[in-house]
């Protein structure tokens, strides 16, 4: 089964075709990386899949079910959770509270039980706190537990956003440039983390510019340029593909003309 199945998807902004006739699939249990130069339509594709934008035409299936409009929070209910290009941790909340807020979908206690602090609510809060602390420890953010989340360095904010998404126990996790703001060491740790996430049964789709990360972790790479899929395949296949090099370096004929 495919976690995401996109068929003939198009989206224009004014005169600009940000995504045009794109068909891609993300198999369940894989790590799929979307790469391409700036403005290739990677984030737009993410925004279409997570229902922030309505497509002009084409269809999107998430775990086999057709996506048909509806509010953004419906997407998370289907087990699809995303992060954003600029880490969007919640200002005005501590790191710990940020992580806990990710579990909102799975809250069992209702407002009355929370107001009266009944047993179910207490048990749930204790359970969530333990889970949150484990995740904070996993990515090395424990020492920032009670600090305002927006005070964290950028790389830490990206990690925080990721574990917050993970608290929602997604079936598919969409990460928009998870390695931006991370140094090389942290990027290597991120690669380990991403593989561990895949092993835990979560499908991953990432938009990423860092080639060593992409080539290291991805099972499938999809290359976008100017809103179109240029190539797709395993990292090895992609690395040797002339069209990919063209998309990144520029048109080969054009280059020759300039040189001559």
Partner 1 sequence: MVSEAVQIITGGLLQGSVFAIVALGYALVYRVTGVINLTQGAFCVLAALITYSLERTLHWPVPLAVATAVVATVGYGLLIGAAVFVPALVRLPPSSLLMVTAGLLTLTNGFALVFWGGDPYSLPPFSGEEPVDVLGARVSTQGLWVAGTALIIILGFWYLFTRTMLGKALQACAENPTAARLMGIDVHRMALLAFALAAMIAALGGIVVAPIFSLQFDTGQMFSILGFIAVAIGGMGSFIGAAVGGLLLGIAKQLAAGYVSSLFSEALALCLLLVTLLWRPSGLFALGRPRRTDVRGEQHVHAPIVRLRGRGALLFGILLAVTIFALPSVISDPSTINSLAIAGILFIAVLGLDILMGYAGQISLGQAAFMAIGGYVAAILATNYDWSPLMSTLMGALVSLICAVVLALATVRLRGVYLALATLAFGLVVDALAIGLRGITGGPSGLTGIPSFSIAGFVFDTDRSMYYLVAAIVSVLLLVLVGATRAGFGRALMSVRADRMAAGALGINVTRVKMAAFAISAVLASLSGSLYAFYFQFLSPEMVGTARSFELLTMLVVGGAGTLVGPLFGVVLLTILPVIFQPLALYKTMVEGALLVAAFRYLPGGILGGLALLWSWSSGHISEKSGLLRQPASRNAR
How far apart are CB 75 and partner 1 at their closest, in Å?
A: 7
Counting contacts by CB under 8 A, is residue 151 touching partner 1? yes
Cα–Cα distance measured from residue 12 to residue 155, given in angstroms and rounded to the nearest whole number: 32
Asked if 168 and 102 count as a contact pair (C-beta separation under 8 A), the reply is: yes
For the bound state, the minimum distance from the C-beta of residue 87 to partner 1, rounded and expressed in Å, comes to 9
Q: Rule CB under 8 A: is residue 21 a binding residue for partner 1?
A: no
Is 50 a residue that touches partner 1 (CB under 8 A)?
yes
Among candidate residues 34, 28, 6, 3, the one with its CA nearest the CA of residue 175: 34
What does the per-residue mask of binding to partner 1 show for 90-129, with x meaning CB under 8 A?
xxxxx--x--xxxxxx-x-x-x--xxxx---x--xx----
Exposed/middle/buried for residue 170 (C-beta within 10 Å: 0-12, 13-18, 19+): buried
Nearest to 101 by CA among 117, 115, 90, 113: 90
The reply to whether 148 sits near partner 1 by the rule CB under 8 A is yes
* Residue pair 223/232 in contact by the 8 Å Cβ criterion: yes
Site string for partner 1, 157-186 (x = CB under 8 A): -------xx--x-------x----------
In this structure, the number of other CB atoms found within 10 A of the CB of residue 86 comes to 13
Q: Which is nearer to partner 1, 66 or 111 (CB)?
A: 111
10 beta partners: 57
Q: Which stretch binds partner 1 (CB under 8 A): 81-89, 202-210, 222-230, 240-248?
A: 81-89
CB neighbour list of residue 219: distance below 8 Å, 6 or more residues apart: 27, 30, 31, 32, 234
Shortest distance in whole angstroms from residue 185 CB to partner 1: 22
Query: Would you say 49 or 244 has its CB closer to partner 1?
Result: 49
Percentages (nearest 5) of helix, strand, coil residues in the chain:
45, 25, 30
Name the site residues for partner 1 (rule: CB under 8 A): 13, 43, 46-47, 50, 52, 71-73, 75-77, 81-82, 84-86, 88, 90-94, 97, 100-105, 107, 109, 111, 114-117, 121, 124-125, 143-148, 150-151, 164-165, 168, 176
């Amino acid at each position: 089964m495919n976690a995401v199945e996109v068929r003939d998807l198009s989206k224009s902004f004014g005169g600009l075709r940000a995504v045009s006739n794109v068909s891609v699939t993300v198999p369940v249990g894989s790590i799929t990386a979307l790469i391409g130069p700036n403005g290739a339509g990677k984030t737009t594709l993410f925004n279409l899949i997570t229902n922030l934008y309505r497509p002009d035409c084409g269809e999107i299936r998430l775990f086999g079910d057709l996506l048909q409009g509806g509010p953004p929070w419906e997407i998370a209910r289907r087990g699809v959770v995303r992060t954003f290009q600029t880490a969007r941790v919640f200002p005005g909340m501590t790191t710990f509270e940020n992580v806990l807020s990710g579990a909102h979908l799975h809250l069992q206690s209702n407002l009355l039980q929370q107001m009266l602090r009944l047993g179910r609510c207490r048990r749930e809060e204790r359970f969530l706190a333990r889970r949150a602390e484990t995740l904070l420890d996993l990515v090395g953010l424990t020492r920032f537990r009670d600090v305002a989340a927006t005070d964290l360095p950028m790389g830490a904010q990206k990690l925080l956003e990721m574990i917050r998404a993970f608290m929602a126990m997604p079936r598919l996790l969409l990460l928009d440039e998870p390695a931006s703001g991370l140094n090389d060491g942290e990027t290597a740790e991120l690669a380990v983390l991403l593989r561990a996430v895949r092993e835990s049964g979560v499908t991953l789709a990432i938009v990423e510019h860092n080639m060593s990360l992409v080539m290291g972790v991805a099972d499938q790479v999809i290359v976008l340029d100017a809103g179109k899929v240029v190539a797709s395949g395993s990292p090895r296949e992609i690395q040797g593909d002339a069209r990919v090099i063209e998309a990144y370096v520029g048109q080969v004929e054009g280059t020759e003309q300039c040189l001559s």
